Copies of this chain bind each other. A is one copy, B any other.
Amino acid sequence: MKNLKKISVVGMGLLGASVTLSIKRDLPNSRVVGYSHRPQTRQKARQYGVAHEIVETLEETVENADIVILATPILTFKDYFANMAPCLKTGAIVTDVGSTKTLPHRWASEHLPKGVHYVGSHPIAGSEKRGLEYARDDLLTGAACIMTKTTGTHAVSVRILEEFWARLGCAVKVMSPARHDKIFGMVSHLPHITAAALVNSNKTQDLELAGRGFIDTTRVASGPANVWSDILMTNTPTCIEGIETLIGQLKLIQKAIQSGDEKKVKKLLEQAAAKRAKMIQHKIDQKELF
């Protein structure tokens, strides 16, 4: 992708630094620049060599950049858009790696100047670990990357970004931000809420006897609280509805147990096992799981 001379990433956490490492590996003709608002993180990013250059200011980060990628908590996007607006070159593509997309699209349209093109991105990759010391240049390999566009999104920029993520090893899908947030509210944000609620339902002392089942069911609850509260706060309608749906399903099982309806309990468990088996088979067919 020879037209991408400079690609900048704002935010040097696990995902941001994995993106810069992937660019270094897969796009040898691009210069990748990293930035964090924390001096300590910039220093660490230099030590680990996650980008060609770690710069000191947001201005240096975005000036002349062909692509700027936000990899910070979602609620910071609005300010970043406003602050980078005067420094972006005409034709620059701005994207992000945030887990919700409706509000970023709105904020971009409010704060980015004409001639700068925002497209949403959400690479489905991460870890419950945090920090650039866990960054890996293969974190994106084989991962799905959902890109989002509205009717007003610049078509050429969508195509460039599609190629960009594909070059980093992602399987790209494009959809509207509304559809993205509805689906991921259910398959990602609701599981996070569920895992946290399940841990909070238990006594610390009892957890000493928890087995592998509990550990796996709640793994995501160890994710960074600030990142996740931003995700939930920017996808409120689906989260609220999703919790309601889940409570309905929990009550179905509860009622069946309470009324001694063993057949119904078994049926509900079988339904879940069958649905999950179908999901796993799909992922094996798609070579997303082996």
Given the contacts A124-B211, A183-B206, A197-B250, A257 and B279 also touching, CB distance less than 8 Å: no
Task: Tell me the nearest residue of chain B to A206, going by C-beta.
Answer: B183
Picked from B187, B204, B232, B247, the residue with its CB within 8 Å of the CB of A275 is B204
What's the interface size class on A, roughly? Answer: 35 or more
Which stretch, A34-42, A57-65, A110-118, A258-266, touches the partner chain B?
Answer: A258-266
Given the contacts A243-B254, A258-B240, A269 and B198 also touching, CB distance less than 8 Å: no
Q: A198–B218 Cα gap in the complex (Å)?
A: 13
The reply to whether A262 and B229 form a contact with Cβ atoms under 8 Å apart is yes
* Least distance between A213 CB and chain B CB atoms (Å): 5
Given the contacts A242-B201, A243-B253, A225 and B270 also touching, CB distance less than 8 Å: yes
Asked if A268 is an interface residue, CB under 8 A from chain B, the answer is yes
Q: A203–B198 Cα gap in the complex (Å)?
A: 22
A186-B203, A217-B220, A225-B270 given; name 4 further pairs at CB < 8 Å: A191-B198, A204-B279, A228-B269, A240-B258
The 3 A-B pairs with the shortest beta carbon distances in the complex, nearest first, are: A196-B272, A197-B249, A225-B269
Q: Can you list 6 contacts pairing A with B, beta carbon distance less than 8 Å?
A: A195-B217, A196-B249, A197-B246, A200-B249, A229-B262, A232-B253
